[in-house]
Amino acid sequence: MHISAELRQLFARAKRVVVLTGAGVSAESGVPTFRGGGNTAVWKGMPFDVISSAEMVERDLPAVWEWFDYRRNFLQELTPNPAHYEIARWQERFAELTLVTQNIDGLHQKAGSLEVIELHGNIWRARCTACRTTYSMVQEKRPDACFECGDSLRPDVVLFGEMLPPGAFEFAAVRASQSELCFVVGTSALVYPAAGLPEIAKAAGAYVVEVNPERTPLSSLCDEVLTGKAGEVLPLF
Protein backbone atom coordinates (compact mmCIF):
# COMPACT_ATOMS: atom_id res chain seq x y z
CA MET A 1 0.00 0.00 0.00
CA HIS A 2 1.59 3.26 -1.14
CA ILE A 3 0.51 6.51 0.49
CA SER A 4 1.93 9.50 -1.37
CA ALA A 5 4.30 11.97 0.30
CA GLU A 6 1.81 14.73 -0.53
CA LEU A 7 -0.98 12.98 1.36
CA ARG A 8 1.28 12.23 4.33
CA GLN A 9 2.31 15.89 4.56
CA LEU A 10 -1.28 17.08 4.23
CA PHE A 11 -2.42 14.58 6.87
CA ALA A 12 0.27 15.86 9.22
CA ARG A 13 -0.73 19.51 8.97
CA ALA A 14 -4.47 19.46 8.15
CA LYS A 15 -6.83 21.05 10.64
CA ARG A 16 -10.25 20.45 9.07
CA VAL A 17 -10.94 16.89 7.94
CA VAL A 18 -14.16 15.21 6.79
CA VAL A 19 -14.63 11.43 6.77
CA LEU A 20 -17.59 9.82 4.99
CA THR A 21 -18.09 6.13 5.78
CA GLY A 22 -20.39 3.52 4.26
CA ALA A 23 -21.33 -0.14 4.46
CA GLY A 24 -17.82 -1.39 3.62
CA VAL A 25 -16.48 -0.25 7.01
CA SER A 26 -19.20 -2.13 8.87
CA ALA A 27 -18.86 -5.18 6.61
CA GLU A 28 -15.34 -5.63 8.04
CA SER A 29 -17.01 -6.12 11.45
CA GLY A 30 -19.38 -8.72 10.03
CA VAL A 31 -22.39 -6.48 9.40
CA PRO A 32 -24.35 -7.75 6.36
CA THR A 33 -24.95 -5.01 3.81
CA PHE A 34 -28.53 -6.26 3.29
CA ARG A 35 -28.18 -5.22 -0.32
CA GLY A 36 -26.30 -8.31 -1.41
CA GLY A 37 -27.74 -11.59 -2.55
CA GLY A 38 -28.61 -14.58 -0.44
CA ASN A 39 -31.02 -14.67 2.45
CA THR A 40 -30.12 -11.21 3.72
CA ALA A 41 -32.05 -9.53 0.89
CA VAL A 42 -35.38 -11.08 1.90
CA TRP A 43 -37.21 -11.20 5.24
CA LYS A 44 -40.11 -13.65 5.52
CA GLY A 45 -40.70 -13.47 1.80
CA MET A 46 -40.51 -9.67 1.65
CA PRO A 47 -37.68 -7.91 -0.20
CA PHE A 48 -35.41 -5.72 1.91
CA ASP A 49 -36.66 -2.50 0.30
CA VAL A 50 -40.28 -3.42 1.11
CA ILE A 51 -39.90 -4.38 4.79
CA SER A 52 -37.59 -1.34 5.25
CA SER A 53 -39.97 1.16 3.65
CA ALA A 54 -42.01 4.12 4.86
CA GLU A 55 -45.08 2.45 3.39
CA MET A 56 -44.54 -0.62 5.59
CA VAL A 57 -44.47 1.55 8.74
CA GLU A 58 -47.97 2.73 7.80
CA ARG A 59 -49.18 -0.73 6.82
CA ASP A 60 -47.65 -3.09 9.38
CA LEU A 61 -45.49 -1.44 12.05
CA PRO A 62 -45.15 -4.65 14.16
CA ALA A 63 -43.61 -6.43 11.15
CA VAL A 64 -41.12 -3.58 10.72
CA TRP A 65 -40.15 -3.84 14.40
CA GLU A 66 -39.78 -7.62 14.09
CA TRP A 67 -37.30 -7.11 11.23
CA PHE A 68 -35.33 -4.39 13.03
CA ASP A 69 -35.29 -6.33 16.32
CA TYR A 70 -33.86 -9.29 14.41
CA ARG A 71 -31.16 -7.07 12.94
CA ARG A 72 -30.33 -5.51 16.33
CA ASN A 73 -30.00 -8.92 17.95
CA PHE A 74 -27.56 -9.86 15.23
CA LEU A 75 -25.56 -6.62 15.60
CA GLN A 76 -25.37 -6.91 19.38
CA GLU A 77 -22.54 -9.44 19.18
CA LEU A 78 -20.44 -7.43 16.70
CA THR A 79 -17.57 -5.15 17.66
CA PRO A 80 -15.82 -2.21 15.99
CA ASN A 81 -12.84 -3.01 13.76
CA PRO A 82 -9.48 -1.18 13.42
CA ALA A 83 -11.00 1.34 10.97
CA HIS A 84 -13.63 2.43 13.51
CA TYR A 85 -10.97 2.81 16.23
CA GLU A 86 -8.55 4.68 13.97
CA ILE A 87 -11.21 7.20 12.91
CA ALA A 88 -12.11 7.71 16.59
CA ARG A 89 -8.43 8.46 17.33
CA TRP A 90 -8.40 11.12 14.62
CA GLN A 91 -10.63 13.23 16.89
CA GLU A 92 -7.51 13.95 18.96
CA ARG A 93 -5.35 14.47 15.91
CA PHE A 94 -7.27 17.15 14.03
CA ALA A 95 -8.66 20.46 15.27
CA GLU A 96 -11.94 19.69 13.51
CA LEU A 97 -12.89 16.17 12.47
CA THR A 98 -16.33 15.70 10.95
CA LEU A 99 -17.44 12.08 10.75
CA VAL A 100 -20.42 11.47 8.46
CA THR A 101 -21.76 7.94 8.16
CA GLN A 102 -24.37 6.18 6.06
CA ASN A 103 -24.30 3.28 8.54
CA ILE A 104 -27.00 2.78 11.18
CA ASP A 105 -25.21 0.20 13.37
CA GLY A 106 -23.67 2.54 15.99
CA LEU A 107 -20.21 0.94 15.68
CA HIS A 108 -18.49 4.33 15.30
CA GLN A 109 -19.92 5.40 18.66
CA LYS A 110 -18.96 2.04 20.18
CA ALA A 111 -15.36 2.75 19.09
CA GLY A 112 -15.44 6.14 20.81
CA SER A 113 -16.41 8.57 18.06
CA LEU A 114 -18.41 11.54 19.28
CA GLU A 115 -20.87 13.79 17.43
CA VAL A 116 -21.28 11.39 14.52
CA ILE A 117 -23.49 12.78 11.74
CA GLU A 118 -25.80 9.85 10.99
CA LEU A 119 -27.32 10.45 7.57
CA HIS A 120 -29.52 7.36 7.77
CA GLY A 121 -30.31 7.32 11.49
CA ASN A 122 -29.46 4.69 14.11
CA ILE A 123 -30.87 1.21 14.61
CA TRP A 124 -30.42 1.59 18.39
CA ARG A 125 -32.95 4.42 18.61
CA ALA A 126 -36.75 4.51 18.42
CA ARG A 127 -38.68 7.63 17.39
CA CYS A 128 -42.24 8.71 18.01
CA THR A 129 -44.30 8.70 14.82
CA ALA A 130 -46.07 11.88 15.95
CA CYS A 131 -43.83 14.18 18.03
CA ARG A 132 -40.44 12.74 16.93
CA THR A 133 -39.18 12.24 20.52
CA THR A 134 -36.36 9.68 20.41
CA TYR A 135 -35.56 6.82 22.80
CA SER A 136 -32.27 4.95 23.12
CA MET A 137 -32.40 1.17 22.96
CA VAL A 138 -28.70 0.61 23.67
CA GLN A 139 -29.24 -0.32 27.33
CA GLU A 140 -32.96 0.31 27.65
CA LYS A 141 -35.93 -1.75 26.54
CA ARG A 142 -38.06 -0.12 23.88
CA PRO A 143 -41.09 1.65 25.43
CA ASP A 144 -44.51 0.44 24.27
CA ALA A 145 -45.49 3.99 23.34
CA CYS A 146 -44.14 7.55 23.45
CA PHE A 147 -43.90 8.90 27.02
CA GLU A 148 -44.52 12.42 25.72
CA CYS A 149 -47.67 12.00 23.62
CA GLY A 150 -48.65 8.32 23.82
CA ASP A 151 -48.29 7.69 20.11
CA SER A 152 -46.53 4.65 18.62
CA LEU A 153 -42.77 4.37 18.09
CA ARG A 154 -40.86 3.39 14.96
CA PRO A 155 -37.17 2.73 14.23
CA ASP A 156 -35.24 6.02 14.04
CA VAL A 157 -33.72 5.16 10.66
CA VAL A 158 -34.24 6.50 7.17
CA LEU A 159 -36.37 3.99 5.31
CA PHE A 160 -36.92 3.62 1.58
CA GLY A 161 -39.11 6.47 0.40
CA GLU A 162 -38.07 8.85 3.21
CA MET A 163 -36.01 12.02 3.39
CA LEU A 164 -32.80 12.34 5.40
CA PRO A 165 -33.02 13.72 8.98
CA PRO A 166 -33.56 17.51 8.92
CA GLY A 167 -30.29 19.42 8.86
CA ALA A 168 -27.93 16.41 8.88
CA PHE A 169 -26.77 16.62 5.27
CA GLU A 170 -26.79 20.42 5.28
CA PHE A 171 -24.41 20.51 8.26
CA ALA A 172 -22.17 17.86 6.68
CA ALA A 173 -22.13 19.84 3.42
CA VAL A 174 -20.96 23.00 5.21
CA ARG A 175 -18.14 21.06 6.89
CA ALA A 176 -17.19 19.48 3.56
CA SER A 177 -17.01 22.92 1.93
CA GLN A 178 -14.56 24.04 4.64
CA SER A 179 -12.38 20.91 4.68
CA GLU A 180 -8.77 20.54 3.60
CA LEU A 181 -8.87 16.75 3.48
CA CYS A 182 -11.80 14.44 2.72
CA PHE A 183 -11.72 10.67 3.18
CA VAL A 184 -14.38 8.50 1.56
CA VAL A 185 -14.20 5.09 3.24
CA GLY A 186 -16.03 1.86 2.39
CA THR A 187 -18.74 3.30 0.22
CA SER A 188 -19.43 3.11 -3.50
CA ALA A 189 -20.65 6.73 -3.22
CA LEU A 190 -23.62 6.04 -5.47
CA VAL A 191 -26.36 7.09 -3.06
CA TYR A 192 -27.18 10.78 -3.11
CA PRO A 193 -27.12 13.14 -1.34
CA ALA A 194 -24.26 11.49 0.61
CA ALA A 195 -22.32 10.99 -2.61
CA GLY A 196 -22.36 14.75 -3.07
CA LEU A 197 -20.14 15.39 -0.05
CA PRO A 198 -16.82 14.47 -1.70
CA GLU A 199 -17.88 16.53 -4.72
CA ILE A 200 -18.52 19.54 -2.47
CA ALA A 201 -15.15 19.05 -0.74
CA LYS A 202 -13.33 18.72 -4.06
CA ALA A 203 -14.98 21.85 -5.47
CA ALA A 204 -13.84 23.75 -2.37
CA GLY A 205 -10.22 22.69 -2.92
CA ALA A 206 -9.96 19.76 -0.50
CA TYR A 207 -7.71 16.76 -1.22
CA VAL A 208 -10.08 13.81 -1.66
CA VAL A 209 -8.96 10.30 -0.75
CA GLU A 210 -10.89 7.09 -1.40
CA VAL A 211 -10.32 3.96 0.68
CA ASN A 212 -12.13 0.94 -0.76
CA PRO A 213 -11.35 -2.68 -1.72
CA GLU A 214 -12.08 -1.86 -5.37
CA ARG A 215 -12.44 1.21 -7.54
CA THR A 216 -15.83 2.92 -7.65
CA PRO A 217 -17.56 5.57 -9.80
CA LEU A 218 -16.05 8.11 -7.37
CA SER A 219 -12.44 7.03 -7.99
CA SER A 220 -11.89 9.33 -10.97
CA LEU A 221 -12.86 12.36 -8.86
CA CYS A 222 -10.35 11.54 -6.12
CA ASP A 223 -6.83 12.89 -5.75
CA GLU A 224 -5.72 9.57 -4.33
CA VAL A 225 -7.24 6.08 -4.30
CA LEU A 226 -6.02 3.64 -1.64
CA THR A 227 -7.23 0.18 -2.60
CA GLY A 228 -7.72 -2.15 0.35
CA LYS A 229 -9.75 -2.82 3.48
CA ALA A 230 -10.33 0.22 5.65
CA GLY A 231 -9.18 -1.67 8.75
CA GLU A 232 -5.82 -2.30 7.11
CA VAL A 233 -5.34 1.03 5.29
CA LEU A 234 -6.36 3.66 7.88
CA PRO A 235 -3.97 2.50 10.64
CA LEU A 236 -1.08 3.12 8.19
CA PHE A 237 -1.50 6.84 8.82
Alpha-carbon distance values, 195 to 90, 133, 207 (Å): 22, 29, 16
Give the C-alpha separation, 148 to 211, whole Å: 43
Question: Is 217:189 a contact under the CB 8 Å cutoff?
Answer: yes
**120 is a catalytic site residue:** yes
Q: How many CA atoms lie within 13 A of 85 on its CB side?
A: 10
- Alpha helices in the chain, H assignment, sequence order: 5-13, 23-27, 48-51, 54-59, 61-76, 82-93, 107-110, 168-177, 196-203, 230-233
Question: 207-212 and 224-227 as β-strands: parallel, antiparallel, unpaired?
Answer: parallel
Please enumerate in sequence order all residues whose Cβ is within 8 A of that of 198, keeping only pairs 6 or more positions apart, or say none. Answer: 20, 176, 182, 184, 189, 208, 218, 221, 222
Q: Whole-angstrom Cα distance, residue 145 to residue 114?
A: 28
DSSP notation for 108-159: HHHTT--S-EETTEEEEEEEETTT--EEE-SSSPPPSS-TTT---EEEEEPP
Q: Hey, which residues are catalytic here?
A: 120
